[in-house]
Amino acid sequence: MIGTRLMAETLDPQQASNATNEFYNAPVYNTLVTFNAQGELAPELAVEWEIAKDAKSLTLKLRDGVTFHSGNPFTADDVVYTLERAKKVGTGVAAFIAGVESATAQDDSTVTIKLRETNLDAINALSMVYILDSALVKQHEGNDNAQQWLANNDAGSGAFAMKAFKPSQQVSLARFDGYWEPLAGRPSVLEMRMIPEASAVRDELQAGGIDIGYEIAAADKPLFESSDKYQVVTIPGPIQTYVNLNMKGKWTSDPRVREALQLSYDYQGHLDTILHGRGKFATGLASDTVRCRAELPALHQDLERAKSLIKEAGAEGATLTLAYQTGPVEHNMAGTVLQSSLREIGLNVEIKNVTFPQYLEMLSSPETVPDLGIAWDFAAYPSVGPMLQRAWHSSAIGQTNASQYSNAQVDALLDASAESVDAQQACDDLVEAQKLIAADRPTLYVANRAIQIIADKRVTGIQFMPTSQVFDASLIELAK
C-alpha cells in the first residue's frame, strides 16, 4: 500500500509527461526503451535498435513473447498505432515525438521510424512513450481517440494490471503474472492511495494503513528514522529550482542587476530551512542526473557586493515583479525569502501569485513576463539537449523560454547539436552552450530536491530511475 499526495488527473498514458500521472502509469505500461539507474539507455519492449548513419530513421527489434493484460500479443502494429495516436491527440507525450514523420511495421517484431530531420536524441525520447494495446483501444476510440476510455481503463503490458480507479482516491493494481520480467518479491496487490495532506500520510504510516509514504513533512522525518519498522529511503531527484530573470525587463536587462540578484539569495537557507537538508546546491543549468551537462560553480550569497551593484546600476528603490505559485511549499517559501533578500539590497518587490497555467500565460507576451519567476524544471529523460532547446533557445520566447533569453551563439550551438550525427560533438556543443548561458546570468539555479520516501523495512526496489520523477512502483519487492 502506497500513500502519496500526488493526485492523478487521468490515467491515459498520453498524459504521462505530467509527473503526477506518470507515477500511476509506470506500473501498468511499458516503453520501447528505458534508462537504468546509471543513466544508460536500456531495452524494454525493444531489445535492439539501429540508428541510420544520417540519424533520420530508427529500426527497432521488438521483444518476443510479450502479452498485454487483455491477453492480446504485443506486435509492431501496437507501436505504430501508439505513435500515430499520440500525434493525433497532440498533447502530453506528443511533444517528445514531434520529429517522427512515420512509423512502419516491417513484420510483427520489427518497426522502422522515419524522422523529419536528423535527430540522434529520437531513440532517447521513446523512453517517454507508453505502448498501447492497439486492438483493445480501437474498440473504444469513439470520437476522441479513446481519451475518455483510457482515462479510467488499462491498455498496458506492465508488471501490474489495473483493477479499479477511484478519481482523487485510489488506484488498485494486481500483479500481472504473465509479465515478461517477473520479480520474485513483487507484491500480488499494489494499492496506490491519493492522500492530500502530508500529516495524513504520516498518520497512515504510523497506523499501519500504508507501507510506503511519499511527501511527509520534514518535521515528521525523525519519527521514522529511529523506527524498528520503517526506513527512510533517499534518492536523487531530477527536479531543479530556478529563479528566472527577464532579460528584457526594465531593470533586469542590466547585467549588473542580474548579478546582484544572483548574489542576493540565501542559498544555504534554502537548503536548511526550505528543503530541510533534502537536497543540494545546484551546480548547473540542469540536475547532475543528465548527460552532457556543464558543471558550473554553485551560486552564493554576498549582500554587500549585491548592494554595490544595484547602486552602480542606479536601481536603488526600483520595483521588480516576482511571480510564483503558492501551491508548492518550496515556491511559496522561496518567494518569501527572495522578497526579503531583495529588500536588503535596496529593491522593492511586487508579488504576483499565479497558477502554473497563469505563469505560462504571462510568458506568452513580452509585456507580461515578470522580472523574476520561481519555477521547477527538469529533463524528462537524462539528455540535456531538449531541455536547453525549450528553456533557452530564442525560438521558444513567448512559450517556454521564461527569461526571454536570446543569444545567437547559443542558438547556433543548440541547433548544431540537434542536427549532429556525431554524439560526442553534439555533447560538446551542449556543454559550451550552457557555459555561455550561465555567463549571461539569466537565472538563479538554486537547488536540486532529493526525494525521500518512508517505507516498511520489508520493502526493497525503491531506487532512482532517470525517467521517473518519483520512483517506479513496478520495481518494488517485499521480503518474505
The CA distances from residue 63 to 75, 103, 178, 408, in Å, are 9, 17, 14, 44
Residue 18 pLDDT more than 80? Answer: no
Q: Whose CA is closest to 99, among 68, 158, 47, 56?
A: 56
Span 306-314, average pLDDT = 97
Least confident window among 153-157, 324-328, 410-414, 415-419: 324-328
Convert the pLDDT of each residue in 334-346 to its tens digit.
Answer: 999 999 999 999 9
Convert the pLDDT of each residue in 376-422 to its tens digit.
Answer: 998 889 999 999 999 999 999 999 999 999 999 999 999 999 999 99
The amino acid at 330: E
What is the chain's mean pLDDT, rounded? 94
Q: How many Å apart are CA 443 and CA 369, to the nearest integer?
A: 14
Q: How many Å apart are CA 423 and CA 433, to the nearest integer?
A: 15
Per-residue model confidence (pLDDT) at position 39: 86
Span 260-268, average pLDDT = 97
Q: How many Å apart are CA 345 and CA 232, to the nearest integer?
A: 40
Span 27-50, average pLDDT = 94
Residue 267 pLDDT more than 90? Answer: yes
Residue 178 pLDDT more than 90? Answer: yes
Which segment, 118-122, 166-170, 316-320, is predicted with the most confidence on average?
316-320
Per-residue model confidence (pLDDT) at position 464: 87
Per-residue model confidence (pLDDT) at position 356: 83
Per-residue model confidence (pLDDT) at position 106: 96
The amino acid at 155: A
pLDDT grade for 245, boundaries at 50, 70 and 90? very high
Rounded to 5°, angle at Cα 160 from 155 and 163: 70
pLDDT grade for 211, boundaries at 50, 70 and 90? very high
Cell numbers for 184, please give them: 520474485
DSSP string, 235-274: E----EEEEEE-TTSTTTTSHHHHHHHHHHS-HHHIIIII
Q: Outline which parts of the chain fall under CATH 3.10.105.10.
A: 240-449
The CA distances from residue 143 to 88, 146, 148, in Å, are 12, 7, 10
The amino acid at 176: F
Per-residue model confidence (pLDDT) at position 316: 96
Q: Outline which parts of the chain fall under CATH 3.90.76.10.
A: 30-136
Residue 206 CA, chain-centre distance (Å), reads 30
Least confident window among 108-112, 125-129, 282-286, 323-327: 323-327
Cβ contact 476:312 at 8 Å: no
Which CATH superfamily does the domain covering 30-136 fall into?
A: Dipeptide-binding Protein; Domain 1 (3.90.76.10)
Cβ contact 32:100 at 8 Å: no
Q: How many Å apart are CA 186 and CA 176, to the nearest integer?
A: 10
Per-residue model confidence (pLDDT) at position 7: 86
Least confident window among 18-32, 169-183, 442-456: 18-32
Q: Outline which parts of the chain fall under CATH 3.40.190.10.
A: 1-28+158-234+452-480
CATH of domain 240-449: 3.10.105.10
pLDDT grade for 470, boundaries at 50, 70 and 90? confident
pLDDT grade for 435, boundaries at 50, 70 and 90? very high
DSSP string, 30-65: -BSEEE-TTS-EEESSEEEEEE-TTSSEEEEEEPTT
pLDDT grade for 215, boundaries at 50, 70 and 90? confident
Which CATH superfamily does the domain covering 1-28+158-234+452-480 fall into?
A: Periplasmic binding protein-like II (3.40.190.10)
Q: How many Å apart are CA 231 and CA 458, to the nearest integer?
A: 9
Residue 17 pLDDT more than 90? Answer: no
The fraction of the chain above a pLDDT of 70, given in percent, is 100
